[in-house]
Amino acid sequence: MSPNTIPVVHEDARIVVVDKPEGLSSIPERDVTLPSVQRVLEGARCERLFVVHRLDKEVSGLLVFARDAEAHRMLSMAFEDRRVHKTYAAVADGVIAEDGGVIERPIAQFGSGRMGVDERRGKPSRTEFRVLRRRAAHTEVEAHPITGRRHQLRVHFYAIGHPLIGDPRYGDPREQAKWPRLMLHAMRVRIPHPDGGERTFEAAPPTSYRVVVEALP
């Protein structure tokens, strides 16, 4: 895979921010023959990049890497301490009646990489969202994961009866298979920069996302 397929949104001496395509893992997978964002970028740039956070393979959007150990430590702590503000664009199945809201349901792992709501074993998880546009049978939303659990947005919308369309893990498999991709895109992230201050980065949804939205009735 060419590094040109991974657009660089921003880079400086401390960080690299890229717009990850859907279908490409953030970090190397068990199958070492498969490409990943980290491996492609490191190979092209001949430098080590430090993983700060991850996006699910099926998700597109902003991904931040640190270029030195101190920047990695600082940014990792910022994510852990919830000092990073993330904004996602998503399309949910069904029509959400509320104009916005908060989903607070504890999330736990159930095996084989699948996560789910578990009131007893789950870790506290919070998602805030607002409705952008209602369609005949779907809802466009803007979502903010306050906590950073694995598959959090996917699990939370599934838990309220509105799974994200095109999701291969959550929702009716036959219905989900009709869509060309998971409709979830990390479009904005605000981080404390290792050199001080805050920086906000943005990446518009890619063509693969927009064509689905434009085709919705």
Please report the DSSP string for 41-108 in residue order: HHHHHTS--EE-----TT-EEEEEEESSHHHHHHHHHHHHTT--EEEEEEEEES---SSEEEEE--EE
Instruction: Tell whether the model's pLDDT for residue 5 goes beyond 90.
Output: no
For residue range 150-184, what is the model confidence (pLDDT) as tens digits?
999 999 999 999 999 999 999 999 999 999 999 99
Q: For the chain, which residues make up each domain, given as ranges?
A: 3-212
152: enclosing H helix or E strand:
helix 152-159
Instruction: Tell whether the model's pLDDT for residue 69 goes beyond 90.
Output: yes
For residue range 72-86, what is the model confidence (pLDDT) as tens digits?
999 999 999 999 999
Instruction: Tell whether the model's pLDDT for residue 211 goes beyond 60.
Output: yes
pLDDT value, residue 30: 86
CB 157 within 8 A of CB 163: yes
Query: Which pTM does this prediction carry?
Result: 0.94
Fold for the domain defined by 3-212: Pseudouridine synthase (3.30.2350)
Find all residues with CB under 8 Å of 86, minimum gap 6, and list them. 144, 145, 186, 188, 189
pLDDT value, residue 16: 98
CB 38 within 8 A of CB 27: yes
- Kindly state the average pLDDT of the residues 27-39: 89
User: Which residue among the candidates 12, 19, 31, 56 is catalytic per the annotation?
Assistant: 56
Q: How many CA atoms lie within 13 A of 99 on its CB side?
A: 0
Q: Is 118 marked active-site?
A: no
Cβ neighbourhood burial of 33 (10 Å; 0-12, 13-18, 19+): exposed
Mean pLDDT of the chain: 95
- The count of other CB atoms within 10 Å of the CB of residue 216 is 15
**Helices and strands counted in the chain (H then E):** 5, 12
pLDDT value, residue 1: 54
pLDDT value, residue 154: 98
